[in-house]
Chains A and B, each alone.
Chain A
């Protein structure tokens, strides 16, 4: 088969789009630059916020602070700022609801007498459970108060001649087995989504321009009079879109590796596995999707009558392949052989495995690459069929 037509179309589309600001921006700037920088910025913000929270003193408003001077001294010594306030019960509820005070500790009148009598001495802690930011503060205050209680209990046992440790029959030791890399997935689970989307966007404008755009400009009819089988024309266009998608993919992954290295992940005990070797593997895992993506975009925009119409269609349609990723996030899907047959999802799962620095199952890679290429070839063939139709000219 003589493929000079495919080559000629490919060269022309590649060169023409190299001069088109829209294609260049979407292939080389938007996805590769903004995506990774955005993710890095969000991650960085999250880390510094978490750090600030753990270092910051907790602000607690206290009513009748004179009733429990020792308890408050214990809290003050452990990073709690006490602010004495005068509020009745309704006032305290209001103050928490309106966030005038985030946490209020109410010391009832009988606190001192009950404590002396050896009865359980009540304190009341007001907070708003619907505000996620403050939960940790409340937890810390509660833990500090319990700790104070245990210290008093131990002193009482000691006074009565009982070994204080005997009243702590069980001691819980927590061991977190998540490795720094696997923890990073929690932070970096946006990565594969951005990589796959940036890859699709890389070929988006070329796919529109080469199909709907060509028809709108009136150059398609002339192109069809060239002595080249019609399907070869669309194969050339798909090849050009695929090339831009590949460039976009490589740049996005490299930018991710660079941007993440600037984020202080080590400060929170996380290392992302994004060195040159991991980046190469990520690119290799996603590369088979390029044929699928380029054919998919070309088919959709091949149906559109105009550039704007194609843009409208693709704006809706470009998110469909990435749907399985959202389900994966919600359902917490793990890499399984059966899931490797689903395009985009299999790439997402492989990317996640690579970032977690977990061993990659060769069978998974083989199925993912093989099935994705088969779908891609099928879509390319379908695009060729579409170009043979007479209705193509509208």
Chain B
């Protein structure tokens, strides 16, 4: 369960996020939808404790990210934008390294890494150095790394960027599996179709503010458009006005 409460963040004179509030529930996939530069990444980065909000707070399973960021980090698995992996480590070592950082015992993290390698069908390249990996292989490694400590909440920043169809399908399958296992999944995207296919709930962000939130059907109704794309364009407009 993730809760953003009036999060705000400025970089110099640029207000990137202005009072964003929403909730992402367990057993659901929540999509953070917005154009490039709308404030999606900044919001996510505050949720996963890399940035400190100027004001407002976020709760992860009830733990405040500002009061106890380390406890909050234990409860989340993160796939940051363009998540890099270590070229001189194998996929398995990349995954296990994060298990070690999470304080898991050697036996535990190795067993869990094995599990994830099977789940993500990485057996063919698990023991190769990451140096020559394809985008899809890198993403799988980074995903497994984010899930090593069995987090209840999973946050992904534009996970499908630069992936081919097969990799996107694999990712979609995994997110649905996580949802069905009762996890809270939050991912950001600027691709409507993706959001439409996957999400139970959508939070639309424009100009650093939430312009609409709720189930897909509600959003369509709210914007008075049956097509999500039209609804989205309509909402983006309101965001721009709000930004002025």
Question: Contact residues of A with B, CB < 8 Å?
Answer: 2, 4-5, 8-9, 11-12, 15-17, 19-20, 214, 217-229, 390, 393
Contact = CB atoms under 8 A, between A and B. Distances in A.
A221 B83 contact: yes
Interface in B80-103: 80-89, 93, 97-98, 100-103
B142 A227 contact: no
Given A218-B83, A221-B83, A227 B102 contact: yes
A227 B101 contact: yes
B192 interface: no
B174 interface: no
B212 to A, nearest CB: 28
Given A16-B86, A222-B145, A228 B101 contact: yes
A275 to B, nearest CB: 39
5 contacts: A218-B82, A225-B73, A225-B80, A228-B70, A390-B52
A8 B99 CA distance: 9
A222 to B, nearest CB: 5
B50 interface: yes
Contacts of B64: none
Contacts of A224: 49-50
Contacts of A2: 103
B15 interface: no
A225 B48 contact: yes
A20 B45 CA distance: 31
Nearest to A229: B70
Contact of A217 (B45, B78, B84, B145): B84
A26 to B, nearest CB: 15
Of A8, A221, A222, A228, most buried by chain B (CB within 10 Å of CB) is A222
B86 A222 contact: no
B190 interface: no
A351 B100 CA distance: 41
B5 interface: no
Contacts of B71: 227
A214 to B, nearest CB: 8
B207 to A, nearest CB: 23
Given A4-B100, A12-B97, A225 B84 contact: no
A155 B74 CA distance: 104
B37 to A, nearest CB: 17
A12 B84 contact: no
A222 B100 contact: no
Contact of B142 (A214, A220, A222, A229): A222
B101 A5 contact: yes
B191 interface: no
Interface of B: 45, 48-52, 70-71, 73-74, 76, 78-89, 93, 97-98, 100-103, 129, 142, 145-146
A19 B88 contact: yes
B85 A219 contact: yes
Contacts, number: 79
B98 to A, nearest CB: 6
A8 B80 contact: no
A75 B70 CA distance: 89
Of A214, A223, A227, A390, most buried by chain B (CB within 10 Å of CB) is A227
Contacts of B48: 225
A222 B78 contact: yes
Contacts of A222: 78-80, 83-84, 98, 142, 145-146
Nearest to A226: B101
Contacts of A214: 84
Contact of A16 (B81, B88, B103): B88
Contact of A8 (B45, B50, B97): B97
Contacts of A19: 88, 129
A225 B81 CA distance: 13
A219 B101 contact: no
Contact of B103 (A15, A219, A227): A227
A76 to B, nearest CB: 71
B135 to A, nearest CB: 13
A57 to B, nearest CB: 61
B101 A218 contact: no
Contacts of B73: 225-227
A217 B145 CA distance: 16
B50 A221 contact: yes
Nearest to B9: A390
A226 B81 CA distance: 16
Nearest to A11: B100
Of B45, B97, B129, most buried by chain A (CB within 10 Å of CB) is B97
Contacts of A393: 50
A229 B49 CA distance: 12
Nearest to A392: B50
A337 to B, nearest CB: 45
Given A222-B98, A227-B103, 16 more contacts: A4-B103, A5-B101, A12-B93, A12-B97, A16-B88, A19-B88, A19-B129, A218-B80, A219-B85, A221-B80, A221-B81, A222-B146, A225-B49, A225-B76, A225-B78, A390-B51
Of B45, B49, B88, B101, most buried by chain A (CB within 10 Å of CB) is B101
A317 B211 CA distance: 50
Contacts of B98: 222, 226
Contacts of A220: 84
Contacts of A17: 88
B50 A219 contact: no
Nearest to B100: A8
Nearest to A5: B101
Nearest to A18: B88
A2 B100 CA distance: 13
